[in-house]
Structures are given as structure tokens and as C-alpha cells.
Amino acid sequence: MKFEILSHDTRSKARTGRFQTVHGTVETPIFMPVGTAGTVKSLSPDELDLLGAQIILGNTYHLYLRPGDERIARLGGLHSFMGWDRPILTDSGGFQVFSLARINRIEENGVEFQSHIDGSRHFLSPETAVRIQKNLGSDIMMCFDECTPYPVTREYAAQSMERTVRWSERSREAHGGKGGALFGIVQGSVFKDLREQCLEKLLAIGFDGYAIGSLSVGESKEEMFSVMRWLAPLLPESRPRYVMGVGTPEDLVEGVRAGVDMFDCVMPTRNARNGMLFTWRGPVQIKNSKHADASGPIDPDCGCYTCRRFSRAYLRHLFTSHELLSYRLNTIHNLHFYLDLMAQMRYAIASNTFEEWRTGFYAAQANVEPDGE
RNA sequence: GUGGGUGUAGCUCAACUGGUUAGAGCACUGGGUUGUGGCCCCAGAGGCUGCCGGUUCAAGUCCGGUCACUCACC
């Protein structure tokens, strides 16, 4: 996969770049909306396109269980199946096996688990995870890994990290350099030496990009930022750097500042469905009764369809009534915010004003949201 | 009109033979949510137990009256 750096911020590790896939170009730093089951929940591909989404995330675990990766392959691959012709990154299923399924056995060869949908038994290994991702037609595949829980003993973290490295070798082998790109995932929990050892071993194998896994799994913000700040700059300058499953707007800003290029997180979409909306002045809980008579938009500084067209009072009504449109409008807003946030950071880095932009961003986030209107 | 039943939080209902500060679910109010089960979790507010009187150390609970709703029968 071709990746080029376009600009560097001179006062931080932040950089802009772009990578190419057969489904198009992606400008970094980028946020990838999560489309677990072949859909970014509640939105159509056209709406995603209008929001400026350049790449989305699909999921091995979910699509393998339902409707089945082989069925998707027969139907022409995930892009065709879901009507999205831009790039797709697929998670390997490792995280979901550990977070969603009932695990029966973890062994050297892989993980035996029971489906969270119907309890059926399955076995996922590096080889099957890569095969599934190839069946899906993924542009960027992830190595099968274990997301270490937190807190975790050093011993378990080391053992788990070593196994993830061996699984990464097998993922690389199974991938065979054909099809989409393949990223390795650095594990090792909060232990610096383990993270460094893991990275060293992954570099020896060689991947198209490198991800940092097992962050925001329960550790403090300080610990997460700490890991991001010393680990991200160690990842190869010439390859995309991806922090998996992160995060809040602040996490993205700090990640970019540390030199991270890619993020994915369910937060903007899931929180949208749960009534928490992100704005340039800080988060808004649309269910709060103070919005019941508010005629103004969620965010006066937002240009999204939801903010141009609807009042907070209406959005609160839709939310408290559990109306389907609530999910759609809230998701449109939050994704617009996240994607706009990334676009603003790309612009600030390219114009070498990232630090000033960051200061302004935090100053605005601290503003108390308006009560009435 | 006669006989029976029921009245407890906004709603649906708990509270063993009278015994700590009358509880729960939903709704409501606030907080949480990080490689997704449209969930879930935490906290809070909310009660002249229909009304009046009586018995008792003590009444949502027992007794009398009264009002409301409801069922059956004239």
C-alpha cells in the first residue's frame, strides 16, 4: 500500500499524509466510522459520502457469523454487498471474540468460542481471520490478535503479546502479500518494554501499517495518553499509524499530536443513538429537559444537515419518543463533527498552526452549553 | 336500589397473622458509555396509603361511617 507524508507540524509529532487503495485515496489523519455489520448504523452509503467519510470499518467476527463471509464473497464482496465503493478496513475479529463471545478455549492455534447470536461453536485463527477478510474484499486487513484486558499482570501481558506476535507471523503468511494491505497490531498493555519488544518483532515481520491495540480498555486517561505519546513516534515514520478503538474528541486530538494517522471508534455513532451529541462547545445530552423548548440547533457552529434543519427541542422529542429519525439525525451530526474535527486538524497541520488550533479547540470545548434559546 | 370487589408514587402493582424510615418495575431528573446487541450501568427526585372518626404501646393492615370506581342482580 502506498503511503506518503504530505506535511509535518514543526512543534509536535502531527503529520498529514495520504494512502491509496484500489477503492480510492484516504487523507490522513482520518477517523473511520464503524460499520460493524455491513452498515454504519442508521445511515445509507450516500449519507456517509455526503458527510465526507473516506473509509469505514467493517467487522470480521460479525460478518462471518451473519450473513457469512462466503456468502458475501459470492455476492461480489462487502463493497458491492453494502453499496459502499470507498475503502473499507476490517477488524480481525480478535477483539470481538474476546469482548462479545463466550470463549471456550484459547490455544496456540486460535480461539474456540460461542456465537453471541445463537451460541453456535466456532474457531477463529490467524488463517481463518485473514481468509474471511479476503472474502470480504477488505482494503486493509488486521492481524488476528488478543486485546489484553486491563488491569493485567505483566506475566499475562507478556505471554499474550508473544502469542499475538506468533499469530501476526501466521497472518502475514496467510495473507501472502496478495489482496488488500495488512496491518500488524502492537500489544503489551501499559508495559513500555513489552510494547517495544512487540513492535520490534512486528517490524521484523513487516507490515503495511502498524496499529496500537488494547487502549481505552479501562486504564486512566493519563496512562492511555502516556502509551500513545511514547509509542506512536516509535512506529515507522513511513507507514500509517492506527490507534484502534479510540476515542473521544480529546483522544483524537492528542493522538494526532502524538503522530497517529488513523482512528476508529463506536463513540460518535453509539453515543448518537444514546442521545449524547458532540459540539464545538462540548458535549450535549439531548435528553436533558432544558432542551424541551430550545428552538436553536445542537451546535450553532455546525453545518451538518441536522443542525441546519432541526431544533434541539425537536431532536429531544424524537429521542424521548424513541423515533427512528432520532438515530439518523443524531448519527449524522456526530459523524459530521468527528469528520470535520479531523479535517480541521489536517488543515491546521498543513498550515503549521496545529498548536494554536489545539489551544483554541480546548478553550471552546470548555464553554458551557447554552440552556435556553 | 340490593349484594360483592377494589382504592398505596405519574402508571401497573408489592408490603407474612397489626411491628424498623411503605417497596419494585416502567415513566421522570442527572451522570456514565472508547477495534457496537438501537443496549446497558450508576445516582436522584417523587407517598396526608381516597376521606373522617375509632380501637391499640403501635394501623397501609382491624372496626364504624363516607366518597369514588367496578362487577353481578333487581
Distance CA A124, CA A204 (A): 25
Bases of strand B lying below 7 A from some protein CB = 27-40
Distance CA A103, CA A61 (A): 13
For the stretch A293-350, pLDDT in tens is 999 999 999 999 999 999 999 999 999 999 999 999 999 999 999 999 999 999 999 9
Instruction: Give A318 CA → B13 C1' in Å.
Output: 30
**Measured from the CB, is A265 under 7 Å from any atom of strand B?**
yes
A322 strand B contact, CB < 7 Å: yes
A23 touches strand B (CB under 7 A): no
A321 touches strand B (CB under 7 A): no
Known active-site residue A139: no
Look at residue A88 and give its three-state secondary structure: strand
A40 touches strand B (CB under 7 A): yes
Average pLDDT of the segment spanning A113-137? 95
Of the CA atoms within 13 Å of residue A212, those in its CB half-sphere come to: 35
CA atoms of A369 and A11, how far apart (whole Å) = 31
Protein CA at A321 to nucleotide C1' at B68, angstroms: 34
Per-residue pLDDT tens over the stretch A248-264: 999 999 999 999 999 99
d(CA A133, CA A139): 9
Per-residue pLDDT band for A100 (boundaries 50, 70, 90) equals confident
The yes-or-no answer on residue A69 being catalytic is: no
Residue A39's nearest nucleotide, by CA–C1', is: B36
pLDDT at residue A368 in the model: 55
Spot the catalytic one: A145, A251, A264, A340: A264
Report ipTM (2 d.p.).
0.90
Residue A121 near residue A138 (C-beta atoms within 8 A)? no
pLDDT, position A181: 98
Q: Is A269's CB less than 7 Å from nucleic acid strand B?
A: yes
**Nucleotide nearest A268, from its CA to each C1':** B34
CA A271 to chain centre: 14
Torsion of Cα atoms, A47 then A94 then A81 then A88, to 10°: 50
CA–C1' nearest nucleotide, residue A246: B34
The strand B neighbours among A residues 205-234, by Cβ under 7 Å, are: 211, 213-217, 221
Using the structure block, give the residue that is written with the C-alpha cell 502498524.
Answer: A210
Half-sphere exposure of A20 (CA within 13 A, CB side): 3
What pLDDT band is residue A274 in, cutting at 50, 70 and 90?
very high
Q: How far is the CA of A319 from the C1' of B6 (A)?
A: 38
Predicted confidence at residue A246, as pLDDT, reads: 97
What residue type is A144 in one-letter code? F
pTM here is 0.95
Q: What is the mean pLDDT of residues A150-173?
A: 97
End-to-end CA distance of chain A: 50
DSSP letter for A285, please: E
C-alpha dihedral, A102 to A107 to A110 to A116, nearest 10°: 0
Q: Is the CB of A285 under 7 A from strand B?
A: yes
Q: Is A259 helix (H, G, I), strand (E, B) or coil?
A: coil
Give percent of chain A with pLDDT exceeding 90: 93
What's the CA–C1' distance between A117 and B39, in Å?
15
Angle at A39 between CA A134 and CA A80, to 5 degrees: 50
pLDDT tens digit string along A164-202?
999 999 999 999 999 999 999 999 999 999 999 999 999
Report residue A372's pLDDT band, with 50, 70 and 90 as the boundaries. Answer: very low
Q: In the complex, which nucleotide's C1' lies nearest to the CA atom of residue A185?
A: B35
Res. A373: pLDDT tops 80:
no
Q: Which of A9, A91, A139, A299 is catalytic?
A: A91
Burial A163-188 (b: 16+ CB within 10 A, else e): bbbebbbbbbebbeeeebbbbbbbbb
Please, what is the Cα angle at A274 between A101 and A357, to 5 degrees? 105
Among A229, A244, A240, A247, which Cα is nearest to A187's?
A244
Question: What's the pLDDT score for residue A138?
Answer: 98
pLDDT at A369 over 60: no
Evaluate if the CB of A271 falls below 7 Å from strand B: yes
| Contact of A57 with A34, CB cutoff 8 Å | yes
Taking residues A278-287, what's their average pLDDT? 96
Give yes or no for CB of A91 within 7 Å of strand B: yes
Give the orientation angle of helix A324-350 with respect to helix A354-365, to 10 degrees.
150
Nucleotide nearest to A61 (CA to C1'): B35
- The predicted-structure confidence for A324-334, as pLDDT tens digits, reads as follows 999 999 999 99
Torsions phi, psi for A112 (to 5 deg): -95, 130
Contact A262, A288 (CB under 8 A): no
The answer to whether A164 CB is within 7 Å of strand B is no
Residue reference for cell 481463518: A128
Query: Pairing relation of β-strands A276-277 and A262-265?
Result: unpaired
Q: What is the C-alpha separation between A146 and A155, in angstroms, rounded? A: 15
Mean pLDDT value of segment A13-38:
98
